[in-house]
Amino acid sequence: MAFYFEDNFLYCDGIRVKEIQSRVGVSPFYLYSGEQIEGNYLAYTQALAEIPSQVSYAIKANNNLHILKLLHSLGCWATLVSGNELRLALAAGFEPDQLIFNGNGKTISEITLAIQRGVMINIDSFFDLDHIQTVAEHTNRRARVLLRIAPDLDVTVHPYLSTGLKETKFGLPISQIPRMTTLLARSNHLDLVGIHCHLGSTIDTVHVFQETMAIMARHFTEIRSQGFPLQYINLGGGLGINYRHDQSQHPSPGDLIAAVRAEIPTDSTLIIEPGRSLIGNAGILVCRVIGVKRNVNRSFIVVDGSMAELIRPSLYQAFHYIAFSEPVTGPVEVFDIVGPVCESADFLGKKRRLATPPEGTCITIFDAGAYGRAMSSNYNARMKPAEFLVADEVLHQIRREERFEDYLNLFEPNEDHI
Ligand code: PLP
């Protein structure tokens, strides 16, 4: 276990988190377990061992360069949603042919970068096709493309996390596939090499993946029969994790692969694009208690982390398990854990039974590795936090904290120029 408690102290890969907090001298901060990241990746590759396949990490979940380097060293590809994610992936050492550029609003300059580097691109719409085709013509290059399809399957997740319905802004409704393949058949610059979909995120049942695979396999076979040399069937990401740390049965990567296995078309390569299930439980947000406050009917533990560092609770009403990282013996009460940001929506957890902590207590928000630091903001002029990684029981700083000087440097020195 990468994160575990011993004598009520939290450990990360063998090092006490409280000790790390004292050593690093900044708060709040993100802390990742190298062991957990490798274990999560292995869970996918072991499940896929007998299947022609590729894991492609969704960089949007966490774009720390050192985490990208680690995943690349394990054999992972990467899925990108912006030109800068593409640049980051190249900086981390990924080869262009290990990258898939996805997105519903790719700009001409982003498409140009992808085509010049030879990165595979998802076609998301007719205008996107037009843009990719035009850039390929102008640069006189061929581009390998996948068709992103919206399979119109409902997944019972927060509406902001659902992306596979026909009403979604992502991908092509099934009814428009024939028109798209007709246009692609005429293109002399684009090679359609696969199809792609992504249902949504935090999915905690595998039967919807099975249904999706059946639908995608039908389209794969149909499009291939039209003469397109399809190789890739990309099922996207979306597998949830056990944010509640309860006994509920959460499907593993093994369960996911077992569910779709029988439907995979022959002579195809399966691509899986996990973000959350690779990095989510491998990261924590470590905070300090600023104080305890009791209002009428409500008690609060105010900590130095906030919605600016971890927006998931405020944005999606997402649950994150929260615990003290050191022994606390004060009277147990029900608390809301809130940050210092000037918004009522600024909370990290609600109605948690916890002991009353003294000021300065180390407190941890779990499962913050995905969509944590990556979605952080400078709201209330808060500086984005530092990140640390424990690898082979050694603590490494993998990104320093933003400093006020960094922030100030972005402003033009002379306002007359506006
Ligand atoms: N692939 C695509 C195209 C996505 O848009 C996303 C996330 O939204 C992912 C993969 C990763 O999803 P998750 O982090 O839920 O595994």
Widest Cα–Cα separation across the chain: 72
Candidate from 151-160, 219-228, 347-356 with smallest mean pLDDT: 151-160
Q: State in Å: Cα 184 to ligand 1 middle.
A: 26
CA of 55 relative to ligand 1 center, distance in Å: 12
Convert the pLDDT of each residue in 6-27 to its tens digit: 999 999 999 999 999 999 999 9
Rounded CA-CA distance 53/271 in Å is: 6
Check whether residue 215 and residue 295 sit in a common domain: no
CA distance 7 to 17: 13
pLDDT (tens digit per residue) in 262-306: 999 999 999 999 999 999 999 999 999 999 999 999 999 999 999
Quick one: which atom of ligand 1 is closest to the CA of 371?
14
Half-sphere exposure of residue 356, counting CA atoms within 13 Å on the CB side? Answer: 9
Whole domain around residue 249: which residue ranges?
34-275
Q: Are residues 143 and 179 both part of a single domain? A: yes
Residue 161 has pLDDT above 70, yes or no: no
Distance CA 119, CA 97 (A): 6
Can you read off the two tokens belonging to residue 153?
A: 């399957």
Do 208 and 310 lie in one domain? The reply is no
Distance 190 CA to ligand 1 centre (A): 25
Q: Which atom in ligand 1 lies closest to the alpha carbon of residue 148?
A: 3
Query: What pLDDT, on the 0 to 100 scale, is given for residue 34?
Result: 98
58 C-alpha to ligand 1 centroid (Å): 6
pLDDT of 115 > 70? The answer is yes
**pLDDT band of 160, cuts 50, 70, 90:** low
415 occurs within a structural domain: no
CATH of the domain at 390: 2.40.37.10
Query: Against a cut of 0.85, is the pTM above it?
Result: yes
Whether residues 84 and 14 share a domain: the answer is: no
Tell me the residue type at 62: N
Across the range 345-356, mean pLDDT stands at 98
For range 336-356, the mean pLDDT: 98
Ligand 1 atom with minimal separation from the 202 CA? 15
pLDDT band of 151, cuts 50, 70, 90: confident
Cα 13–Cα 17–Cα 19 angle in degrees, nearest 5: 115
Is 265 in the same domain as 286? no
> Considering 258, 275, 292, which residue would you say is the last residue of a domain?
275
Task: Look at strands 77-80 and 99-101 and give their pairing.
Answer: parallel
Omega within 30 of 0 (cis) for the link into 173:
no
Task: Give the residue, by CA position, lying nearest to ligand 1 atom 9.
Answer: 237
Query: What mean pLDDT is predicted for residues 196-219?
Result: 93
CATH code of the domain in which 240 resides? 3.20.20.10
Minimum CA distance residue for ligand 1 atom 5: 198
Per-residue tokens: 215: 């639908």
How does the average pLDDT of the chain come out, rounded? Answer: 95
Ligand 1 nearest atom to the CA of residue 273, by list position? 10
Residue 119 shares a structural domain with residue 18: no
Q: What is the pLDDT of residues 220-276, one digit of tens each?
A: 999 999 999 999 999 999 999 999 999 888 999 999 999 999 999 999 999 999 999
- Catalytic residue, from 12, 76, 287, 342: name it: 342
Lowest mean pLDDT across 164-168, 178-182, 347-351, 385-389: 164-168
**Which one, of 327, 333, 311, lies nearest residue 379 by Cα?**
311
Q: Which of 275, 291, 316 is the last residue of a domain?
A: 275
**Does residue 296 share a domain with residue 178?**
no
Alpha carbon of 61 to ligand 1 centroid (Å): 8
Minimum-distance ligand 1 atom for the alpha carbon of 278? 16
Ligand 1, atom 10, lies closest to the CA of 237
CA distances to 39, 70, 90, 330 from 94, rounded to whole Å, are 21, 11, 5, 50
Tens of pLDDT, residues 352-400: 999 999 999 999 999 999 999 999 999 999 999 999 999 999 999 999 9
Whether 416 is in a domain gets the answer no
Q: Kindly state whether residues 110 and 182 are assigned to the same domain.
A: yes
CA pair distance 29, 60, nearest whole angstrom: 19
- How many other C-beta atoms are found inside a 10 Å radius of the C-beta of residue 171? 28
Residues 258 and 47: beta-carbon distance below 8 Å: yes
C-alpha radius of gyration, the chain, whole number: 23
Q: For ligand 1, which residues put their CB under 6 angstroms from it?
A: 58, 60-61, 79, 102, 198, 201, 236-239, 273-277, 370
**342 part of the active site:** yes
Q: Which of 147, 201, 204, 279 has most ligand 1 atoms within 8 Å of its beta carbon, as the pocket-test mutant?
A: 201
> Is 414 within the bounds of a domain?
no
For the chain, the domain total comes to: 2
Q: Is residue 25 located within the same domain as residue 45?
A: no
For residue 152, pLDDT over 90 is answered with: no
* CA of residue 197 to ligand 1 center, whole Å: 10
The model's confidence at residue 415, banded by pLDDT at 50, 70 and 90, is: low
